[in-house]
Structure 1
């Protein structure tokens, strides 16, 4: 019987190969073991962001506050109707991955793609914030679009009238701190509060621009652009206008008519 010689060339490579196989098994096992913790962290971050624009302070734990005040539903963006039979899948629905699924996405014509995202999921999660009596106080809508250096992802909260913005937050982007990164600044986000999405004629009127009107006809619709971050601001404006004025319009129209919160 041949003896195994670990000092030979074949023996050395065998030892190295065995070591690599053991390491790969350990790494794979660690990844699998950490998956639940990663999923929990992602869920916690999502809940924190949604609560931030819901108007409710965390009482107890994030999970407890979220369960007490937030209910997720899936929305069919083409019809503007909720899909109650899929409610169990709504909270944490991965609309980013579904946007890449040809069976589940909507391809945006290039001339309409002002947000620079090319396609989006046909189904989108929407979040209803409830007060202590169970009444819906706000509806929270995910939105995203191309900024300067990254795709910016956020949530915008809309009042039950379907036309008044009550808050905005961004939970993922790669914009430059101190410039485009100022989209995270609470003072700038506060400028969105109580702005209207459409004018009385039903036309999209919400806008973000330099020299926003604070006293005239545009005061109810316009937000000041970020100083020194023109391209980032343009991206956020286009994202907000596309999602509020196109993707969510069928839903918001029904919300305005009182057909959602019956």
Structure 2
């Protein structure tokens, strides 16, 4: 066949498209188990990070909380995993770790499952709650660990899909996330979460339910505010059951 002909060019193009498609399909299939493993380990790392920080002491040595280390230590610190309904009742047959919040929050509230992790670390109890909401451009998410009083924040971790570098993306930084430590989520008997407030002047006050916003990232900050309040409030029925049965402090 004449290599300069239109027919040759057309056939060659189709052949290349098919070859590339087969190669990409093969790579996607081959790498999927590894990708799934990485996602699982990263999730464990994020959950543990909220109450152990970014390092762990292992055999007397301080080690960075990597994804691999987190997967090895996860079951040691996470003592219980609950799947709850909107009434705060446990749901059987649904594993908390496997719940996809991106899908779950699209359902009516009375059809949603709410994952919750109970942890023990250095003699203290914590409850870790997954978060998900909307930033300026796309989804934001994270985890918040509450101390055993079910009111005081031990730590948070946030992430995003497409916030602006140097602005909204700063929610992933340690200096921003550290502002939430020891903040309270209850105002009286109502869960209000923590407001990311522009022009905040409260300093280190941990009783006003507010932290200073990121300059130039008002909408992303509002997204964090709304995400925390909306998600945390869904756990109030369960928290009240724990308090009433005196299971919050063990």
* TM-score, normalising length: structure 2: 0.78
The 8 Å contact of residues 73 and 83 in structure 1, kept in 2 or not, is answered as no
* 1:24 counterpart = 2:13: no
How far does residue 74 in structure 1 lie from its aligned partner after superposition?
Answer: 4.0
Change over 3 Å in CA distance of 1:68–1:14 after alignment to 2: same
Matched, 1:34 2:31: yes
Residues 1:204 and 2:212 are matched in the alignment:
no
SS of corresponding position for 2:141: strand
Q: 1:222 aligns with which of 202, 205, 210?
A: 210
- How far apart are residue 159 of structure 1 and its match? 1.3
Q: Which residue of 2 aligns with 1:45?
A: 42
Total equivalences in the alignment: 235
Please tell me whether the aligned partners of residues 86 and 114 of structure 2 are also in contact (alpha carbons under 8 angstroms): no
> CA 1:23–1:146 in 2, change beyond 3 Å: closer, same or farther?
closer
Partner SS for 1:50:
helix
Distance 1:20 1:228 in 2: 44
SS of aligned partner of 1:157: strand
Q: Unaligned stretches of 5+ in structure 1?
A: 109-120
Counterparts in 2 of 1:27 and 1:71: CA distance versus 1, 3 Å: farther
Max radius of gyration: which structure? Answer: 1
Q: Is the 8 A contact 1:80 1:250 kept in 2?
A: yes
* Corresponding residue SS for 1:211: coil
Contact 2:84–2:115 (8 Å) recurs in 1:
no
Question: Which residue is equivalent to 1:123?
Answer: 113
Which position in structure 2 is the counterpart of 1:138? 126
* Aligned-pair CA distance for 1:32: 0.9
1:162-221 deviations in Å (ceiling 9; x for gaps): 11111111133322222222212222212211111113x3023443323253588x7352
- State the SS of the aligned residue for 1:78: coil
2:135 and 2:163 in contact (8 A); partners too = yes
Question: Is 1:73 paired with 2:73?
Answer: no
Distance 1:226-1:42 versus aligned 2 partners, 3 A rule: same
Give CA deviations for 1:48-76 in whole Å, capped at 9, x if unaligned: 11111022634472211222212462422
